[in-house]
Homo-oligomer: A and B are copies of this chain.
Amino acid sequence: MIEDRVNVESCSCSVIHEDAVSRARDSMPEEETLYDLAELFKVFGDTTRIKILCALFESEMCVCDIAALLSMNQSAISHQLRVLKQARLVKYRKEGKVVYYSLDDEHVKQIFDQGLVHIKER
């Protein structure tokens, strides 16, 4: 062996701690899981959506209510509710022409609260 350090393509530098790297590689969840996880947190990563979730902690609400609460137009809220719905963070029920949104899941609040704990300390 001419080189005893492994050069990985698209990385200009060499592995310093082989053991740590391979342990990390072994413990790493599969690609898809990590992707889904990032997608989930991405949904939490917007002020409008955070506010919507926060509002729904209190009670179910229709689109108009949320729009009024946040002083935003109905379309913007509707678009964001779609994102939340796709992430299975909210569910809805229809009553005539009114659509009521509520939390789909108890984890939502737990994730939210864990985040709060982090930003609150210091």
Contacts and interface: CB of A to CB of B under 8 A. Distances in A.
Interface residues of A, number: 70
Query: What is the copy number of this chain in the assembly?
Result: 2
Contacts of A111: 111, 114-115, 118
Interface in A13-66: 13-17, 20-21, 23-25, 27-29, 33-47, 49-51, 54-55, 57-65
A9 interface: yes
Interface in A73-96: 73-74, 88
Interface of A: 6, 8-17, 20-21, 23-25, 27-29, 33-47, 49-51, 54-55, 57-65, 67-69, 71-74, 88, 98, 105, 107-108, 110-112, 114-119, 122
The 4 A-B residue pairs whose C-beta atoms are closest, nearest first, are: A42-B45, A41-B44, A24-B55, A13-B64
Majority secondary structure, A binding face: helix
A33 B12 CA distance: 40
19 contacts: A8-B68, A11-B73, A13-B64, A13-B74, A14-B68, A15-B64, A17-B62, A20-B60, A20-B61, A21-B61, A24-B55, A27-B57, A37-B44, A38-B46, A38-B47, A42-B45, A88-B118, A107-B114, A111-B114
